[in-house]
């Protein structure tokens, strides 16, 4: 280990931008002028060390090679496909997502020439290209995608192979690939072809969907994926989905808060389509229905497991990454996602109530909660803001760092459409400014360009709905 001396005391944005930091106690002036969140300075007593073991080893080998006349052994260089596959499984599958529990056992027993391996390679490279913002990786990703589609096509023409769990899993992976790569919500046909194909396969499998826990999990995943895909595209959910949900309702895999949430939102999505297209024209009927769904979601949140409750952390109120004087730390990323998903849908519903309720009308309709829509929006946006710092502050959770770790970058990416909706609907100008500043901080420290794009959307006050922001940010692919 080599002592490199004391590190620069400059804040991270100044070090990254190669600027001289003025080290002001309440945040440096450079960050203030650039409208960036300054998150403090390094401890001047620290020493920076660099591990020179590998470099020293190479020097020794070079000297030996010069003395003996023999070339030194080449260092092992892993290909991008290997590195992408490792990152996909170790970060996305094992640590972020709760949607691919069936993949590891299916992948481990499939032959290396199997379409499942090709599908994993395609989505892994696409994941790495998006995660590292490296467009050059999209070329090998597309090549693997074409190979996977061709191999899967052969399996689908085989009556037996088409009914296997591996085939259904490959289709879901290719759907994930399309959602990562194609983020144009205006053209849903291309990025919905695979999930529609998965629904067709599930229908053809019949009772096979209930035959094993693995098959049950895959069918449940198709139901959830179809719900989100149609909602993002602004389309009515197909009747086949209702039939599938009825078939799955009796299973233990389908039980739990996540399944209950998709059950409520399945009906709600059709309602939102009817409101947007004008099929449901009566303002009173719209308000009544919206309040009913809002009440159902509020009740669902109350029934979430007690183990998912947050631990509230109070601060001095001086940290620019914290709105106000506290933030909430949830036991897992999934627990945060579950609450945020409920909050987002409730924000959408209460916004509809605000837009449709006649001036001077009653605060409640159809026996629903008497709490005003405006207060609901204020309370929920505050809760969303309190759930964000746990993923950003270095000391909030084990594994947090500056710059962000790979897992932090993914977790922060999932927050972008929620922050956009909160900033759009909040009437608190201080909160709006804080959200824009935090998005800039995420962009700077996490190297997440999309965060700055969302901040600019809020600055320009463009009327972008939640699902458009959801697709733009690729959040479908990162949903837990």
Q: What would the pLDDT profile of 386-416 be if each residue is shown by its tens digit?
A: 999 999 999 999 999 999 999 999 999 999 9
Tokens of 317: 């109120």
> By mean pLDDT, which of 21-30, 325-334, 398-407, 449-458 is the weakest?
21-30
Phi–psi pair at 186, nearest 5 degrees: -75, -15
Tell me which of 332 and 28 has the higher pLDDT: 332
pLDDT digits (tens, 9 = 90+) for 179-218: 888 877 566 666 788 999 999 999 999 989 988 999 999 9
pLDDT, average across residues 255-274 = 86
Element (H, E) at 2: strand 2-3
| pLDDT-derived band at 60, boundaries 50, 70, 90 | low
State the Cα–Cα distance between residues 385 and 387, nearest whole angstrom: 5
Of 63-67, 70-74, 300-304, give the range with the top mean pLDDT. 300-304
pLDDT of residue 20: 81
Cα–Cα separations (whole angstroms), residue 147 to 112, 117, 141, 174, 351: 13, 10, 10, 11, 45
* Residue 260 contacts residue 301 (beta carbons within 8 Å): no
Residue 269 confidence (pLDDT) above 80: yes
Tell me which of 31 and 151 has the higher pLDDT: 151
The pTM (predicted TM-score) of the whole model is 0.82
| pLDDT-derived band at 384, boundaries 50, 70, 90 | very high
State the Cα–Cα distance between residues 57 and 41, nearest whole angstrom: 34
Beta-bridge partner residues of 3: 49
> By mean pLDDT, which of 34-43, 255-264, 426-435, 438-447 is the weakest?
34-43
Residue 272 confidence (pLDDT) above 90: yes
| pLDDT-derived band at 131, boundaries 50, 70, 90 | confident
* Residue 373 contacts residue 361 (beta carbons within 8 Å): no
Q: How many CB atoms neighbour CB 353 within 10 A?
A: 25
pLDDT of residue 41: 67
Residue 2 confidence (pLDDT) above 50: no
pLDDT of residue 19: 80
State the Cα–Cα distance between residues 280 and 242, nearest whole angstrom: 21
> By mean pLDDT, which of 22-31, 132-141, 193-202, 334-343 is the weakest?
22-31
* Residue 83 contacts residue 128 (beta carbons within 8 Å): yes
pLDDT of residue 86: 94
Residue 15 confidence (pLDDT) above 90: no
| pLDDT-derived band at 315, boundaries 50, 70, 90 | very high
Taken in order of first residue, the domains within the chain and their CATH numbers are 2-68 (4.10.240), 81-255 (no CATH), 257-480 (no CATH)
* Residue 344 contacts residue 366 (beta carbons within 8 Å): no
Residue 70 confidence (pLDDT) above 70: no
Beta-bridge partner residues of 50: 2
| pLDDT-derived band at 364, boundaries 50, 70, 90 | very low
pLDDT of residue 1: 47
pLDDT, average across residues 415-427 = 97
* Residue 173 contacts residue 197 (beta carbons within 8 Å): no
pLDDT of residue 365: 44
Query: For 334-345, b where at least 16 C-beta lie within 10 A, e where not — what string?
Result: ebbbbbbbbbbb
> By mean pLDDT, which of 51-55, 62-66, 204-208, 333-337 is the weakest?
51-55
| Entry field: residues in the chain | 480
* Residue 345 contacts residue 268 (beta carbons within 8 Å): yes
Element (H, E) at 314: strand 311-314
Residue 117 confidence (pLDDT) above 50: yes
Give me the chain's average pLDDT, please. 85
> By mean pLDDT, which of 214-218, 314-318, 428-432, 472-476 is the weakest?
472-476
pLDDT, average across residues 361-385 = 74
| pLDDT-derived band at 475, boundaries 50, 70, 90 | confident
pLDDT of residue 359: 55
Residue 149 confidence (pLDDT) above 80: yes
State the Cα–Cα distance between residues 297 and 261, nearest whole angstrom: 8
pLDDT of residue 158: 96
3-class DSSP state for residue 412? helix
């Amino acid at each position: 280990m080599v002592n490199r001396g004391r590190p620069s005391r400059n804040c991270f944005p100044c070090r990254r931008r190669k600027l001289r930091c003025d080290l002001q106690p309440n945040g440096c002036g450079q960050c203030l002028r650039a409208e960036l969140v300054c998150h403090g300075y390094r401890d001047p007593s620290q020493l920076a060390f660099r591990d020179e073991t590998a470099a020293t080893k190479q020097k020794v080998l070079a000297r030996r090679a010069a003395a003996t006349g023999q070339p030194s052994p080449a260092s092992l260089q892993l290909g991008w496909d290997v590195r992408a596959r490792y990152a996909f499984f170790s970060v996305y599958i094992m640590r972020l997502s709760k949607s691919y529990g069936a993949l590891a056992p299916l992948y481990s027993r499939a032959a290396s020439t199997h379409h499942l391996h090709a599908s994993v390679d395609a989505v892994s490279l696409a994941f790495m290209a998006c995660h590292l913002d490296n467009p050059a990786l999209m070329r090998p990703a597309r090549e693997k995608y074409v190979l996977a589609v061709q191999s899967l096509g052969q399996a689908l023409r085989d009556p037996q192979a088409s009914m296997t769990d591996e085939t259904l899993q490959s289709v879901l992976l290719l759907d994930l690939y399309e959602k990562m790569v194609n983020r144009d919500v205006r053209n849903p046909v291309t990025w919905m072809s695979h999930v529609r194909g998965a629904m067709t396969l599930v229908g053809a499998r019949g009772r096979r969907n209930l035959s094993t826990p693995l098959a049950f999990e895959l069918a449940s995943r198709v139901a959830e994926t179809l719900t989100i895909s149609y909602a993002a595209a602004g389309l009515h959910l197909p009747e086949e989905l209702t039939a599938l949900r009825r078939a799955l309702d009796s299973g233990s895999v389908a039980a739990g808060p996540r399944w209950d949430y998709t059950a409520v939102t399945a009906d709600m999505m059709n309602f939102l389509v009817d409101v947007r297209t004008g099929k449901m024209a009566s303002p009173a009927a719209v308000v009544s229905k919206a309040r009913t769904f809002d009440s159902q979601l509020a009740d669902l949140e109350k029934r979430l497991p007690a183990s998912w409750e947050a631990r509230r952390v109070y601060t001095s109120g001086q940290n620019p990454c914290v709105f106000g004087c506290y933030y909430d730390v949830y036991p897992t990323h999934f627990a945060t996602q579950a609450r945020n998903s409920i909050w987002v849908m409730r924000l959408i519903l209460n916004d509809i109530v605000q837009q449709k309720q006649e001036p001077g009308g009653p605060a409640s309709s159809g026996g629903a909660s008497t709490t005003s829509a405006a207060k609901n929006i204020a309370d929920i946006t505050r809760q969303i803001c309190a759930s964000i710092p746990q993923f950003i502050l270095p000391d909030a959770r084990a594994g947090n760092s500056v710059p962000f770790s790979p897992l932090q970058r993914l977790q922060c990416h999932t927050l972008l459409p929620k922050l956009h909706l909160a900033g759009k609907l909040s009437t608190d100008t201080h909160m709006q400014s804080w959200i824009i500043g935090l998005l800039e901080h995420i962009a700077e420290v996490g190297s997440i360009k999309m965060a700055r794009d969302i901040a600019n959307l809020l600055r320009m006050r463009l009327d972008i709905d939640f699902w458009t922001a959801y697709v733009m940010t690729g959040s479908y692919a990162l949903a837990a």
